[in-house]
Chains A and B, each alone.
Chain A
């Protein structure tokens, strides 16, 4: 008779450990679904940017209509950003890592190379030509 495969109940805990903080009520009123703290931060930043754009460029728009649209955009974009992962990292962690890489190495990608752990500048000679072949 054919044997069946049993579950060994062995788990990876990374996701469970990095689960984000959420809140379920606002001023004692229950929410339809829990909201991440990071969402609030992203929504606020988006709203701030929208407001600056409106103040600088789009002031001819009626204030009421603008804020209604801006709140909707901030809500949607805030949700997206709170859930957004790039290369397995949440958005701020990725940006932080990317900026540190870009400012140290990325910006020099066409004119530097690493050898024995040391950054060397490519001179306008055969070495650079060799690398760019």
Chain B
């Protein structure tokens, strides 16, 4: 144990991010926002490491620096309160139920809901740093005077405005850290971070602690410390106590390329504070790294020469060590920056056994990666006091110091984190820190992560959101059948429908109404979940059934559209079931009749597409009469009666806030690559009409947020007309507050770079044959590692790319079993299949 360590609080004053110590040293503290980098994207990580190297090399003159990764509690309640401002009044009971329950259930599922914050502490002025020789001399004299006078006259105080002289230096330092976007802390934050060192693992009131410390800095370290367990300290703050263990990194692997230790630490599902104290090596001096390397080289040379003389037995280890020392000297001669650093992992818990278990888990995991983490039985007190943010390494610190180059040091991957989704939104799942497979056990994937993802689809097109790379409001959900895309889609539908927006779900599989009403009946019978019951009752379920006469013409273009829009759709639909090519006479007569009937409809007459065909049956040309008669026969008793009618019924209502529109009797092919049969072509025509209905729904009110969920959307991509309909809906987009959620099997269906109407948000579920395509679409480098990362996704997992350009693998978490039953799509009487 290094007994030279100062155990006392030597902080005299704090102003903004500047900390004045008793000896006149001044430290500047900054918070560095974490760079969100995809966990699998090595290129992006390498670019960020190069940036970190560049910034750290610029602060070499300051000699020392500290990088701290500190877990701080997430204020979930504040975030949820913000979200609640957008709740729609008619469904707010369920919205509040979801917020309350998710708050409770998330807090129960993990020890602590926290996120890591990065801090950088740099000595702005100390006896080691000389910006100005005169200033340095003055500081030394002041310190000497203080040491001599203080025992005689009591504590010597500094001028109250001591910080004014250093604001220029602090500003200069801030500029040097610009690339990392480091933000100077304010006084309250600086006090809090310094006080937190003594409150690890203890429940405390932040405002009270900051206020007490601000009142007098004597309170900064007002925590008692005991060490009855040797390698585990106990902190006592009033009646609260916690156990604390400081585990230094004793050895790291010889080759530190892609070490990424700090990223791995963030993958554990409990908080681990990581403190890294670094000191740049001098070029000269007995204790400098080059001098140590020179001495080691002499030792190795002698040992190898002796070994050679003795027959060259067992020389491999020596040769490797010698090569490393030679490499170090070459790098030193090439002016590469060398440094030593002490890295300590801090574990804190109020439960002793839980703390011991956490330590065991981390030591095991680190040893698998060649990192030796030690319990430091004799050094706990030293590490506790040495690791305070305003203490620096010096020549007396010899244990646990790693020696490497600056490039090697940044391989730890500082200042990064994983995040995806919105800051304010509904909880949707957890980011998966594991890059391998969970072998179908998605529950384990959820339990192992504490990195939550929140989603709010309506943030996408808003302008005042920092960091967004696109305002494209559209969302694509892709993947093979059975991967979980329906489950995610329905959660997104639920969450969207709880906010102030009009929601439309196109359900061509006709699954939702039956299941929702079944659950409603069950809950009514049992008298449970009244919020869910009310919510289901608030949904306007519309079922378009060709056997129901009142549905005929509900999607008739002449009935629900006007003018050119109605005409274009009518032509497309007719052309799809009866090609107009080389039938100029019929085509011409059809257009004439169409114009006539559109005008009649405008005047309020009840006419529709079937009226047009019946009109053509009376045409003077036989060829036209035959074609029209054929079309009438095709329409009768088929699903086409939903789109071709005599105009006697009203179109589908678009006024309800939440609508689920299902169509029964659609014949959708099971594989989009199959050739379409006659009945599938008819179904396609109905989908065209639905597409136009969606366009109308999205463009009716520019100020009102509307969101359309288009399930089985790949059906539209089967033809050019279908693709153009999707594009039209998407173009409504941002300016008209319309959001499209496209659910499809292939990522190819999301490719629309040609007209710039792609998707701002993508959820890509597993797809056996499309790994490379998906990675390219998500702009993730295609490597063996990324392909394996994508292909090893288990059910319920997907890659989530948000509007900030962030991309992560998440596990969708159905936190509410009482809501999940709404999304069941498989009905069975079998009992032995679970």
Partner of A100 from the list B3, B258, B385, B403 (CB cut-off 8 Å) is B3
A109 lies within 8 A of B299 (CB): no
Q: How far is the CB of A83 from chain B (nearest CB, A)?
A: 12
16 residue pairs A–B, Cβ–Cβ below 8 Å: A4-B784, A8-B411, A10-B411, A13-B403, A14-B402, A16-B296, A24-B306, A87-B376, A87-B379, A89-B250, A101-B378, A101-B381, A112-B226, A116-B222, A117-B8, A117-B9
B321 lies within 8 A of A19 (CB): yes
> Please, which residue of chain A has its CB at the minimum distance from the CB of B249?
A88
Stretch at the interface among A28-36, A46-54, A56-64, A68-76: A28-36
Bound CA span A21–B3, Å: 28
Which residues of chain A come closer than 8 Å to B299, judged between CB atoms?
19, 21
Of the listed residues B310, B381, B399, the one surrounded by the most CB atoms of chain A closer than 10 A to its CB is: B310
Which residues of chain A come closer than 8 Å to B403, judged between CB atoms?
12-14, 17
B8 lies within 8 A of A118 (CB): yes
Bound CA span A22–B315, Å: 11
B149 at the interface (CB under 8 A from A): no
Given contacts A7-B257, A17-B293, contact A114 B408 (CB under 8 A): no
Which residues of chain B come closer than 8 Å to A25, judged between CB atoms?
306, 309-310
Given contacts A7-B257, A114-B225, A130-B236, contact A30 B311 (CB under 8 A): yes
Partner of A11 from the list B222, B309, B404 (CB cut-off 8 Å) is B404
Which residues of chain B come closer than 8 Å to A4, judged between CB atoms?
783-784
Q: How far is the CB of A21 from chain B (nearest CB, A)?
A: 6
Given contacts A4-B783, A5-B42, A87-B378, contact A14 B401 (CB under 8 A): yes
Bound CA span A114–B222, Å: 10
Given contacts A13-B404, A131-B236, contact A116 B256 (CB under 8 A): no
Partner of B254 from the list A8, A15, A117 (CB cut-off 8 Å) is A15
A115 at the interface (CB under 8 A from B): yes
A106 at the interface (CB under 8 A from B): yes
B251 lies within 8 A of A17 (CB): no
B815 at the interface (CB under 8 A from A): no
B724 at the interface (CB under 8 A from A): no
Which residues of chain B come closer than 8 Å to A11, judged between CB atoms?
254-256, 324, 327-328, 404-405, 408
Partner of B377 from the list A19, A21, A98, A117 (CB cut-off 8 Å) is A98
Bound CA span A133–B292, Å: 49
Partner of B310 from the list A30, A88, A104 (CB cut-off 8 Å) is A30
A88 lies within 8 A of B248 (CB): yes
Which residues of chain B come closer than 8 Å to A5, judged between CB atoms?
42, 258, 783, 785
Q: How far is the CB of A64 from chain B (nearest CB, A)?
A: 31
Measuring CB to CB, which residues of chain B are less than 8 angstroms from any residue of chain A? 1, 3, 6-9, 42, 218, 221-228, 230, 234, 236, 239, 241, 248, 250-258, 289, 292-293, 296, 299-300, 303, 306-307, 309-311, 313-314, 317-318, 320-322, 324-325, 327-328, 372, 374-379, 381-382, 385, 399-405, 407-408, 411, 781-787
Which residues of chain A come closer than 8 Å to B407, judged between CB atoms?
8, 10
6 more contacts with CB within 8 A, not counting A7-B257, A12-B251, A14-B251, are A4-B784, A7-B255, A11-B255, A97-B379, A105-B381, A113-B226
> Please, which residue of chain B has its CB at the minimum distance from the CB of A32?
B313
Bound CA span A87–B400, Å: 9
Q: How far is the CB of B35 from chain A (nearest CB, A)?
A: 19
B783 lies within 8 A of A2 (CB): yes
A17 lies within 8 A of B292 (CB): yes
Q: Which 8 A-B pairs have the closest CB atoms?
A: A88-B250, A117-B8, A117-B7, A30-B310, A24-B310, A16-B324, A101-B1, A8-B257
Of the listed residues A12, A88, A117, the one surrounded by the most CB atoms of chain B closer than 10 A to its CB is: A12
B226 lies within 8 A of A131 (CB): yes
> Please, which residue of chain A has its CB at the minimum distance from the CB of B785?
A5
Of the listed residues A3, A10, A98, A113, the one surrounded by the most CB atoms of chain B closer than 10 A to its CB is: A10
Given contacts A88-B400, A131-B226, contact A17 B303 (CB under 8 A): no
Bound CA span A12–B228, Å: 35
Bound CA span A22–B318, Å: 10
Which residues of chain B come closer than 8 Å to A24, judged between CB atoms?
303, 306-307, 309-310, 313
Partner of A110 from the list B228, B255, B328 (CB cut-off 8 Å) is B228
A123 at the interface (CB under 8 A from B): no
Interface residues on A, range: 35 or more
A109 lies within 8 A of B228 (CB): yes
Bound CA span A131–B289, Å: 44
A84 at the interface (CB under 8 A from B): no
> Please, which residue of chain A has its CB at the minimum distance from the CB of B225?
A114
B325 lies within 8 A of A3 (CB): no
B257 lies within 8 A of A9 (CB): yes
A55 at the interface (CB under 8 A from B): no
Of the listed residues B1, B372, B403, the one surrounded by the most CB atoms of chain A closer than 10 A to its CB is: B1
A34 lies within 8 A of B378 (CB): no
Q: How far is the CB of A3 from chain B (nearest CB, A)?
A: 5
Bound CA span A117–B663, Å: 75
Which residues of chain B come closer than 8 Å to A10, judged between CB atoms?
255-257, 404-405, 407-408, 411
Which residues of chain A come closer than 8 Å to B781, judged between CB atoms?
3
A16 lies within 8 A of B328 (CB): yes
A12 lies within 8 A of B408 (CB): yes
Which residues of chain A come closer than 8 Å to B786, judged between CB atoms?
2
B7 lies within 8 A of A113 (CB): no
Bound CA span A7–B325, Å: 19
A117 lies within 8 A of B381 (CB): no
B310 lies within 8 A of A31 (CB): yes
Which residues of chain A come closer than 8 Å to B228, judged between CB atoms?
109-110
Bound CA span A40–B296, Å: 21
Q: How far is the CB of B334 from chain A (nearest CB, A)?
A: 13
A104 lies within 8 A of B313 (CB): no
Which residues of chain A come closer than 8 Å to B230, judged between CB atoms?
106, 109
Partner of B293 from the list A13, A34, A86 (CB cut-off 8 Å) is A13
> Please, which residue of chain A has its CB at the minimum distance from the CB of B305?
A24
Bound CA span A100–B378, Å: 8
Q: How far is the CB of A50 from chain B (nearest CB, A)?
A: 28
Bound CA span A98–B222, Å: 27
Q: How far is the CB of A124 from chain B (nearest CB, A)?
A: 16
Bound CA span A95–B392, Å: 25
Which residues of chain A come closer than 8 Å to B782, judged between CB atoms?
1-3
Bound CA span A102–B378, Å: 8
Which residues of chain A come closer than 8 Å to B402, judged between CB atoms?
12, 14
Bound CA span A117–B407, Å: 37
Bound CA span A116–B379, Å: 18
Bound CA span A105–B379, Å: 11
Bound CA span A10–B256, Å: 6
Bound CA span A14–B398, Å: 11
Which residues of chain A come closer than 8 Å to B227, judged between CB atoms?
105-106, 109
A116 lies within 8 A of B8 (CB): yes
Which residues of chain B come closer than 8 Å to A120, judged between CB atoms?
224
Q: How far is the CB of A90 from chain B (nearest CB, A)?
A: 11
Q: How far is the CB of B694 from chain A (nearest CB, A)?
A: 39
Which residues of chain A come closer than 8 Å to B289, judged between CB atoms?
13
Bound CA span A109–B7, Å: 16
Which residues of chain A come closer than 8 Å to B314, judged between CB atoms?
33-34
Q: How far is the CB of A123 from chain B (nearest CB, A)?
A: 13
Which residues of chain A come closer than 8 Å to B324, judged between CB atoms?
11, 13, 15-16
Bound CA span A1–B783, Å: 7
Bound CA span A114–B787, Å: 54
Which residues of chain B come closer than 8 Å to A94, judged between CB atoms?
378
Partner of B303 from the list A21, A93, A112, A133 (CB cut-off 8 Å) is A21
Q: How far is the CB of A45 from chain B (nearest CB, A)?
A: 21
B318 lies within 8 A of A19 (CB): yes
Which residues of chain A come closer than 8 Å to B1, judged between CB atoms?
97-98, 100-101, 104
Which residues of chain A come closer than 8 Å to B239, judged between CB atoms?
130
Bound CA span A89–B1, Å: 11
Given contacts A2-B787, A17-B296, A19-B300, contact A117 B306 (CB under 8 A): no
Bound CA span A114–B7, Å: 9
Bound CA span A30–B377, Å: 40
Q: How far is the CB of B41 from chain A (nearest CB, A)?
A: 11
